[in-house]
Structure 1
Amino acid sequence: MDIENAAKQLEALGNVTRLEIFRTLIQAGQSGMTVGDIQKKLGIPASTLSHHIS
C-alpha cells in the first residue's frame, strides 16, 4: 500500500457529505445508483452533490 496515496484518499472522505455519498454507494453495491437517486436519498441540492462528486 502506498501510504501517501491512501492518506490523500482518506482525507477526501473527511468531509461529512463526501462520506455519506461514499457510504450510500457502498450500500448500493455493484448495481450502483444514479446521481438523482443519491440526491434524493441524501436530501441535498444537486449543486452540492455535483461539487462533492467532482
Structure 2
Amino acid sequence: MTKKTSNTQITKAQIYRAVASSTAIETGASVEKIEQQLKRSQKRAKAVGLAR
C-alpha cells in the first residue's frame, strides 16, 4: 500500500476560518463575527512591542 503525501499550503485565512468555525459551534456566534474579532486581535497584538 502506498501513501500519498499532500504538499498543500495552509494559509492564515484557512486557519482563521477553522478557528472561527470551531468557536462558532461551541458558542453559537456567527463565523464571520468571530473571524473579524480574531483579525482585530491579531492587529492589536502586532502593535504591542515586546519588552527588551
TM-score (ref. length: structure 1): 0.35
Structure (1/2) with the larger helix percentage: 1
TM-score (ref. length: structure 2): 0.36
Point out the structure with max Rg over C-alpha. 2
